Amino acid sequence: MRPHLTRLDTPTPPVGLVLMLHGGKEASTQVVDGRSASWRRSARMQRTITPRVHTAGVSTWLLGYRQRGWNGGSGPIADARWALEEVRRELGDLPVVLLGHSMGARTAVHVADDPSVVGVVALAPWFPPGEPLDALVGTPLVAGHGRSDHITSARATAAYVDRLRAAGGRADLHDMGRVGHYMFKRPWAWNDLAVQGALHLLEGGAVSPGTR
């Protein structure tokens, strides 16, 4: 059982890459395949946003973890580090933005210390109280959370952003309105945040205190 990548590459050598990390469950050893709802959700977003980022010369890759669960973190974190090594092996020292939803956002902040990573876009992230900041300090974060999310906590995301800023990190926080966790409502707004946030970070744009 190995992690896998769905690659939507630019027709010419890319100038950057968005590595997408899908959500999951707190505990599950179920294999991630095409039937996984979390993977399918990110795959749909990948298909939607790719034409827009391709116009900027940016490719998108979607990681499929070996297992659906966080399971203490070691599995998805190792899989994400494997994917970043694959990027370097295939494309060289290309700047990478991590685009994570839910558990994928939690995974992203743990691997944001990778030398290829220039930023993280976190959609409805799962940031439990006390989640470590170490890997993210020095790497800018763009986060978006809806106020009607009953799966992960918008307040926890705000608290994480506050802790990151207090530690000297850079972060934007976007209030997505009264929308839930799975990005079914106002999907265009989630897609816009994904595209604009990723391209802004790849261009080296500054991240400032965001909208609350």
Instruction: Give the domains, in start order, of the chain with CATH numbers.
Output: 4-202 (3.40.50.1820)
Q: Are 96 and 59 in contact (CB under 8 A)?
A: no
Residues contacting 56, CB < 8 A, separation 6+ = 15, 16, 199, 202
The answer to whether the Cα torsion of 187, 191, 196, 201 is positive or negative is positive
pLDDT for position 37: 94
Q: What is the DSSP letter of 52?
A: H
CB 194 within 8 A of CB 123: yes
pLDDT at 207 over 80: no
Residue 212 has pLDDT above 90, yes or no: no
pTM, rounded to two decimals: 0.96
| Per-residue pLDDT band at 204 (split at 50, 70, 90) | confident
pLDDT, one tens digit per residue, over 76-104 is 999 999 999 999 999 999 999 999 999 99
Task: Please tell me the number of Cα atoms within 13 Å of 92 on its side-chain side.
Answer: 4
